[in-house]
Amino acid sequence: MKENNLGLIHIYCGDGKGKTTAALGQGIRAVGRGFQVGIARFLKTEDSGEVPALIRVPGIRLLPCKQSFGFSFRMTREERDMASRYYNEYFDQAVSQWGLWEERSDCPLTDPVDLVILDEILGACQSGFVAREKLEQFLRKRRENLEVILTGRNPWESLLEMADYVTEMTMVKHPYTRGLLARKGIEW
């Protein structure tokens, strides 16, 4: 087996806390070894504690998520349509900006990354904002040496089959069940 044979798919999933934290930790480890890392954050605002830290790390490219739509279960049909258009364009921007597709002579790579984190992409797919088929097509057609990390809940069977790593975070106990709301610097 070759050392540094990049190109595998990771999924961090489950109902427990730590999916994003694990993905970002993997990204920091990769940057520490000289890799370029792209991070696209779905279903999240820029008002999260990791954002100010990540934008300061050389080697990390954070694609800003400039629009927030709130919780999907509270959205109107019009808001869902707007969110779907936005997140599809956001996904396409990450793919084109970071050269995530196989390089073609008529479309040279402009700002390629070695590892991409699509944080909460599973939630974006589960909510119908990004089609599952679109994500799977990307995974099949991505550059051969592109390492991919996906996070979120409830990965579907065909996605699990494509993955090389699947780690499930299971909630055993969480203060939320006692009524404690998300805390700044801990949950966001």
4 within a domain of the structure (yes/no): no
Q: What would you report as the CA-atom Rg of the chain, rounded to the nearest whole angstrom?
A: 16
2 within a domain of the structure (yes/no): no
Q: What is the CATH number of the domain that holds 54?
A: 3.40.50.300
121 closest CA partner among 143, 102, 100: 100
- Which residues share a beta bridge with 9? 148
Q: What is the mean pLDDT of residues 47-65?
A: 94
Instruction: Give residue 88's pLDDT.
Output: 96
Domain span at 158 = 9-178
Instruction: Give residue 45's pLDDT.
Output: 82
Q: At a CB cut-off of 8 Å and minimum separation 6, what does 30 contact?
A: 37, 114, 115, 147
**Per-residue pLDDT at 106 exceeds 80:** no
26 within a domain of the structure (yes/no): yes
Residue 68 has what DSSP assignment? -
**Residue listed under structure tokens 């699990």:** 160
Cα(107)–Cα(180) distance, integer angstroms: 50
Domain total of the chain: 1
73 within a domain of the structure (yes/no): yes
Q: In what side-by-side order are the strands of the sheet with 37-41?
A: 60-63, 37-41, 115-119, 147-152, 9-13, 165-168
85 within a domain of the structure (yes/no): yes
109 within a domain of the structure (yes/no): yes
pTM, entire model: 0.91
Q: Report which listed range, 43-52, 166-175, 178-187, is most confident.
A: 166-175
Enumerate the H helices of the chain as residue ranges: 19-32, 50-54, 77-97, 121-126, 132-141, 157-162
188 within a domain of the structure (yes/no): no
